Amino acid sequence: MPFLELSGVCKAFGGPEVLKDVNLSIERGEFVAIVGYSGSGKTTLISLIAGLQKPDAGTVKLNDLEITAPGPDRGVVFQNYSLLPWLTVTENIALAVEQVFPNHTPEKRAELVAKAIATVNLTPASEKLPRQLSGGMRQRVSVARALAMDPQILLLDEPLSALDALTRSTLQDEFERIWEADKKTVVLITNDVDEALLLADRIIPLTPGPGATLGESVAVTLARPRDRKALNHDPEFKRLRALVTNQLLGYGAKRKATVTKKLTLPDILPEDLDVPRTTRKRPLRPHEIKREEVAVSA
């Protein structure tokens, strides 16, 4: 029995289906990366697992129990950090710890908070407000908050895509270290194939929407711990990277072939400023503009 199981999940927001017939099963302790184009429905997928959204059809099960509401057993790291700006780093995390461990003594809770902050190397900034932190630091706080809840599964929604490349690789290394330490089940959403290869046991592509669904998963058999410098020369890494990239590009090509847009181009001639004003043709009035439609492949 898989730990997390989605079967036949569909989701629409009043318009066309965003997700269509999504099936996914993840074992306990597995680190799964889901890669896809932006706008394809990755955040929607995470929201469904988190219980923030309900599927229109199909079921989402954790531990064989259907997910009906959000809860702290699923730690979410939101795409835009979602720290409460009026609380300090410590207070943001303490809010989560108080909710999850109401029976602990205050000292024990403070200890958990401090430990979570230390795990992401933020102890010196623990009394700062989010607005006083850089993007990378905010993201670490968000991760620390999720870790402090000691969830059964971590849901990371593009945690690093808003960061610069250097900060991103530092945090990737930290994620790897944290995951090695307690082997939590993780679903990582990303649009960076290298990041997925560095961290995940398995990579699943999400086809572009509307009607996005999960493609065939690729097992990442690279030995751990993975070193980013060594990986760059690893033939297996190169093979996997080409495989996943081609899979995504394949979807992209299909998308190109199917999506056409109609642009309406106004028929306007540029005014010739060399001709004296009095003899120049009068510029067209808006209702005189002839329109023609041109089909453009996106």
Partner 1 sequence: MNKFKLDWLILPLIGVAIILGVWAVSSATWAKDLPSPLKTWESSKPYILEPFAKRGEMDQGILRFTWYSLVLVAQGYALALIIGTPIGFCLGLSKAFTKTFDPIIQILRPVSPLAWLPLGLVLFLGTGKEAGTYGALFTIAICAMWPTVLNTAVGVRAVPQDYLNVGRVLKLSRWKTLTKILIPATLPYMFTGFRLSLGIAWLVIVAAEMLTGRPGVGGFLWQEYNALIYEHIILSIIIIGLVGFVLDRLMSLLERRFRTA
Ligand X SMILES: Nc1ncnc2c1ncn2[C@@H]1O[C@H](COP(=O)(O)OP(=O)(O)O)[C@@H](O)[C@H]1O
**What residues line the site for ligand X (CB under 6 A)?**
13, 18, 36, 38-44, 209
**Among the listed residues 7, 12, 25, 52, the single contact to partner 1 using CB under 8 A:** 52
What CA–CA distance (Å, rounded) separates 122 from 125? 5
Q: Report whether 19 contacts 45 (CB < 8 A).
A: yes
Neighbours of 286 (CB within 10 A): 6
60-89 positions binding partner 1, by CB under 8 A: 69-72, 74-76, 78, 80, 82, 84-86
Comparison of 152 and 161: residue with beta carbon closer to Mg ion: 161
Binding residue for partner 1, selected from 26, 96, 125, 203, defined by CB under 8 A: 96
Closest to Mg ion by CB, 42 vs 241, is 42
- Assigned token pair, 35: 């890669």
* Chain Cα centroid distance, residue 118: 25
Report, in Å, the least distance between residue 281 CB and ligand X. 44
Instruction: Quote the least distance from Cβ 298 to Mg ion, whole Å.
Output: 20
Burial classification of residue 56, based on how many CB atoms lie within 10 Å of its CB (0-12 exposed, 13-18 middle, 19 or more buried):
middle
Instruction: Check binding of 191 to Mg ion (CB under 5 A).
Output: no
* CA pair distance 294, 263, nearest whole angstrom: 5
The minimum distance between CB 126 and ligand X, in angstroms, equals 31
- Give the separation between CA 6 and CA 25, rounded to whole angstroms: 6
Residues within the interface to partner 1 (CB under 8 A)? 50, 52, 69-72, 74-76, 78, 80, 82, 84-86, 95-96, 99-100, 149
